[in-house]
Chains A and B, each alone.
Chain A
Amino acid sequence: MNNSRHMSYWSGIRKRLQRNKTAMAGAIILLVFTLGSLLAPVIAPHPVEQMNFDQRLAAPSSTHLLGTDDFGRDIFSRLLHGGRISLLMGLITVVLSTTIGVTLGIIAGYYRRLDLFIMQGMDILMSLPALLLAIAVIAVLGPGLANAMIAVVIAVIPSYVRVVRSAVLSIREKEYIEAVRALGIRDWQILLKHILPNIMSPIIVLSTIQFGVSILAAAALSFLGLGAQPPMPEWGAMVFVGKSFLSQAWWMSIFPGMAIMLVVLGFNLLGDGLRDALDPKTR
């Protein structure tokens, strides 16, 4: 009985989401980019590192759909391969920041004694704009792909902690939580089985939007020379290289930037749709 009610809750959400055309457009964009990245070795028309100096800075054509770069490498093929890096970076940062942020948020919301301590720490982190915080972290750790991911994770954690904490605060005094507490159930079981499932909606919405934000931030760091380094076909790094050739070969920077924009747009559209589907009241 309980299980079927649970199923109908989620299938209701799925139906609402499927009816939302813009959310579906976002999902399709993401699906296309994910498939493109996964199948990059198969569908890329040229090897990713293949240089061809006769074809240097060639404009988009039937042989090179999106043109070539300063080494004559095919931009389309590099974009497909670069998608693996950008999407994976986004995935890793979202998984890490969700895990850490949700854990800290639940602890802060549930244990009043630790609340002040955790939130004071978050206030300090939030006293810096996220991008600046990420840059400060890179200043300490040094530039590079892994450090850029750590920087982005640290920069986005406070937003999770705030959202999760306030969600926990709103349900910790509810009767059903009091009831399980009265039954003598251990705290960690209450947190995992009774609190976490009830605060999943804001976490899902936030993670979807943060996926895009993380990709955007990581690309910005790469563009500033603080994240992925050329010749890696990471999208932000590709725009950075293309910047020097803007007057001769606009396609070198415009297409990778467009890829970043489309993926982030996909996550934002899907995130908006999920928010409406998970909480029909806010429509």
Chain B
Amino acid sequence: MRRYVVKRLISLLGTLLGVSVLIFLMVHLIPGDPATQILGQFATPEAISQMRTALGLDQPLWQQYVGFLGRLLTGDLGTSLFTGESVWEQIVTRFPITLQLAIFSVLIAAIFGILLGTIAAVKQNTLVDRFVVLLSLVGISAPGFWIALFLIWIFAYKLALFPISGYEGVHSLLLPAITLGMAEAGMIARMTRASMLEVIKQDYMRTAEAKGASLVSLIFSHGLPNAIIPVVTMIGLQFGSLMAGAVVVETVFSLQGIGSLAIEAISKRDMPTVQGMVFFMALIFALTNLIVDLIYSRIDPRIHFD
């Protein structure tokens, strides 16, 4: 197990190194002169020259990368070209909202997804099953920004139950979390259903049934604990994508998380902030995947990594 963790950590470092090259090249891949592109065509030559220095473009490429990597390793993600604030500070200030949103939506998605998926599997080939299958596909197919507007229209405008936008405490995260969790719930329901259908066929289920186990105990003590393993993995792996999905949801609900920070930075072409954000997200994404893999081996004793 320890060997596996070390191997994974080394591969994670390799990937992050690759990501650092990719992020470093982002500025250099901007068509034309990056400084002019960022400042616009009407910028004075002095401003452009200052921007070139700020972006480090006046040095040779390898030197720029070494400097960039060195700063990354010390946790220095640079400073915003517009606010002058440290990118790391901006991310740290805004990350809690995104994290709360992601956790909240995973909870909602897991509860509804597992429940609906289990019901569909138990009632296989009935009207209930078809309805759940269709509903989960609708959840996956509907654009997040559209679900968000739909929920705002009904619950904030028509029923006035929730704030229309902004953060006024945890309850203002409910609509955003439902929006974000909808597609996830659809995927979890589909996977739970498929996994549960496999488990239902197993001999130990038939044995439990023959021994007189009630339907509830059959499902919750014998079926679900076995069916849920791949589902838990998927939930974990989707956690990173959920944070990316937060870009859209935070924009619609005017939440000051890191998703809306990314969009603000892109619209102003604030490259250091964009680069810092992308690196931070990649780091979170990679770490969650690693943790999920390790948890996976804990909850499923059949899995050995060595």
Contact = CB atoms under 8 A, between A and B. Distances in A.
A94 interface: no
Nearest to B21: A124
A257 B22 CA distance: 34
Contacts of A8: none
Contacts of B37: 142
Nearest to B251: A224
B141 A261 contact: yes
A265 B138 contact: yes
B143 A269 contact: no
A223 interface: yes
A124 B18 contact: yes
B198 to A, nearest CB: 12
B26 A139 contact: yes
Interface string A254-280: 100110111011001100100000000
Contacts of A2: none
B281 interface: yes
B183 to A, nearest CB: 9
Interface stretch (A127-135, A161-169, A171-179): A127-135
A203 to B, nearest CB: 21
A185 interface: no
Given A139-B26, A257-B145, A257-B146, A127 B282 contact: yes
A265 B142 CA distance: 8
Given A139-B266, A224-B247, A261 B18 contact: no
B188 interface: no
Interface string A129-163: 11110011011111000000000000000000000
A120 B21 CA distance: 13
A209 B216 CA distance: 36
A31 interface: no
Nearest to B11: A123
A216 interface: yes
Nearest to A263: B141
Interface string A100-129: 000000000000000000001101100111
Interface in A213-230: 216, 219-220, 223-226
A226 B145 CA distance: 14
B272 to A, nearest CB: 11
Interface of A is mostly: helix
A212 B141 contact: yes
Contact of B141 (A124, A136, A223, A264): A264
Nearest to A138: B266
Interface in B280-296: 281-282, 285-286
A223 B247 contact: no
Interface stretch (B70-78, B80-88, B108-116, B148-156): B148-156
A239 B157 contact: no
- Of A220, A225, A242, most B-chain CB atoms within 10 Å: A220
B266 A260 contact: no
Given A124-B15, A220-B143, A135 B138 contact: no
30 contacts: A120-B14, A124-B18, A124-B19, A128-B244, A131-B241, A131-B245, A135-B247, A135-B262, A139-B265, A220-B144, A220-B145, A220-B248, A223-B248, A224-B248, A224-B251, A225-B263, A226-B266, A236-B145, A246-B149, A246-B152, A247-B157, A254-B146, A254-B149, A254-B150, A257-B142, A257-B145, A257-B150, A261-B146, A262-B141, A265-B137
Interface of A: 22, 120-121, 123-124, 127-132, 135-136, 138-142, 212, 216, 219-220, 223-226, 236, 239-240, 242-243, 246-247, 250, 253-254, 257-258, 260-262, 264-265, 268-269, 272
Q: A-B pairs with the 6 shortest C-beta distances?
A: A257-B146, A129-B244, A124-B18, A264-B141, A265-B141, A132-B244
